Amino acid sequence: MDTADKYPTILYIHGGPKTSFGDAFMFEFQLLANNGFAVLYMNPRGSDGYSEEFADIRRNYGKRDYQDLLEGISYALQNFNFIDPNRLGVAGGSYGGFMTNWIIGHTKLFKAAITDRSIANWVTFFSTSDIGREFTLDQIGSDPWGEPAKLAEQSPISYLKDVDTPTLIIHSQEDYRCWLGEALQLYTSLKYLGKQAKLVIFPHENHDLSRSGKPKHRVIRLEHYLNWFNNYLKP
């Protein structure tokens, strides 16, 4: 990479949240890099690999983890002069999709976003996900009848009026972990509010599309990634 040039850069957020990026080969990262994008990834609060205290963001989604991600971007901008601060993108799947949805409602820093198999609304997630009841109670601390304001406060859909980032929404039709309704209400809400958004639904696929989906669908998914970021992050 020629450090005399500035490159569009993608902040890529892992799922979980209690998982972590390591040093294993990540094809998606290499594909983005081969197409002229720098890729920034990190293990923010909520990730595995440090301590149980570090990994515990229950009842605090979108708070310290969000700050860690923005601080990571700030550090990278200060230390890597090949990053173009005016051409930043953000992407992630599952919890990474949740955080992408959260980020676009809380900062204008990113010029393009891709949210994959995401959570938009904890109220609907509670009653549609295969782990919705247990996971929502454990991670957010309430059901829709106990403290509904808490679920709304930690739901990205509550902040969509503030979104300026063009957003591509990718979802599988048979995703039982994060039900298709999460993508539908995110897309409908963004379009209703006059935002730039596109929805891509993959039939006969589930939450593991990017890892074990049909090869043709995995190729098409990555083509959508490249097309979206090329369109909004390259001159």
- 94 annotated active-site: yes
By the 8 A CB rule, do 9 and 31 touch?
A: no
Measured distance CA(160)–CA(140) in Å, rounded: 20
- 207 annotated active-site: yes
Measured distance CA(177)–CA(191) in Å, rounded: 24
Sign of the torsion formed by the C-alpha atoms of 67, 228, 117 and 191: positive
Which one of 94, 155, 189, 210 is the catalytic residue?
94
Residues 6+ apart with CB under 8 A from 146: none
By the 8 A CB rule, do 186 and 120 touch?
A: yes
Which one of 118, 129, 172, 207 is the catalytic residue?
207
Strands 7-13, 38-41: pairing kind: parallel
By the 8 A CB rule, do 136 and 166 touch?
A: no
Distances (CA, A) of 169 to 51, 77, 224, 228: 33, 27, 10, 11
Give the three-class secondary structure for 219: helix
Measured distance CA(51)–CA(2) in Å, rounded: 37
Catalytic residues, by residue number, are 94, 207
